[in-house]
C-alpha cells in the first residue's frame, strides 16, 4: 500500500467514508454532474435483520444480518453475502458501492449490492449454516430475487 493510500484511508472514520472520499476525487477529475454525485453518495436501500436460527443443540441463536443496495440504475444489484464476525452496516455499504462502480466501469448491466451476516461460519455445522442462510434469504424476500433490486 502506498503512503498516499494508507494516509487517505486513515483519515476516514469508516470504509464507506473512504469510498465517498475516492468518489469525490473521481467526480472532480471527470467533471461528474453534481446531481449524479449526490445520488451516488447514498445507498438506494439498506436493510438490517435479526435472524433466529435453531442450532443443532436445540437452542435458538439470533444472528445479525445486513443487505445494502447501492444502486440499480444500470440493472439489478449484484453482490454476494459475507459471513464474518466483523461484518457491519458500514462495510456492506462500502462493498455495495464498489460493486456499483465496478459494474459501471466494466459496462455490465448490474448495480451494486452486498450482504453480510455477523457470524463465524467455521463454528457452525453444515446444517446450522444452511438454516442461517435460509433465514437470511427469507428475511430478504422483498430485497432480492427474481424481478427485484
Pairing outcome for strands 60-71 and 45-54: antiparallel
pLDDT of residue 3: 43
| Known active-site residue 114 | yes
d(CA 88, CA 118) in angstroms, rounded, equals 7
- pLDDT one-digit tens code per residue, 53-103: 999 999 999 999 999 999 999 999 989 999 999 999 999 999 999 999 999
d(CA 5, CA 13) in angstroms, rounded, equals 15
Catalytic residue among 28, 38, 102, 114: 114
DSSP state of 142: T
Give pTM, 2 decimals: 0.82
- 12: cell is 476516514
- 63: cell is 444472528
Beta bridge partners of 99: none
Phi first, then psi: what are they for 8, rounded to 5°? Answer: -70, -35
Q: Domain-by-domain residue ranges, the chain? A: 1-42, 43-142
- pLDDT one-digit tens code per residue, 4-51: 444 444 455 899 989 888 888 888 999 888 888 888 889 999 999 999
- 64: cell is 445479525
| CATH among 3.40.50.620, 1.10.540.10, 3.40.50.10860, 1.10.1580.10 for 43-142 | 3.40.50.10860
DSSP state of 12: S
Pairing outcome for strands 77-78 and 81-84: unpaired
Amino acid at each position: 500500500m502506498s503512503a498516499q493510500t494508507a494516509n487517505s484511508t486513515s483519515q476516514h472514520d469508516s470504509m464507506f467514508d473512504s469510498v465517498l472520499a475516492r468518489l469525490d476525487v473521481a467526480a472532480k477529475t471527470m467533471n461528474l454532474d453534481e446531481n449524479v454525485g449526490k445520488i451516488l453518495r447514498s445507498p438506494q436501500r439498506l436493510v438490517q435483520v435479526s435472524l433466529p436460527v435453531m442450532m443443532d443443540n436445540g437452542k435458538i441463536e439470533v444472528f445479525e444480518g445486513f443487505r445494502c443496495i447501492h444502486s440499480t440504475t444500470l440493472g439489478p444489484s449484484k453482490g454476494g453475502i459475507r459471513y464474518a464476525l466483523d461484518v457491519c452496516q458500514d462495510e456492506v455499504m462500502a462493498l455495495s458501492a464498489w460493486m456499483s462502480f465496478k459494474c459501471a466501469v466494466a459496462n455490465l448491466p448490474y448495480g451494486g449490492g452486498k450482504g453480510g451476516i455477523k457470524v463465524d461460519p467455521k463454528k457452525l455445522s453444515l446444517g446450522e449454516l444452511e438454516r442461517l442462510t435460509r433465514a437470511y434469504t427469507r428475511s430478504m424476500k422483498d430485497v432480492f430475487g427474481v424481478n427485484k433490486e
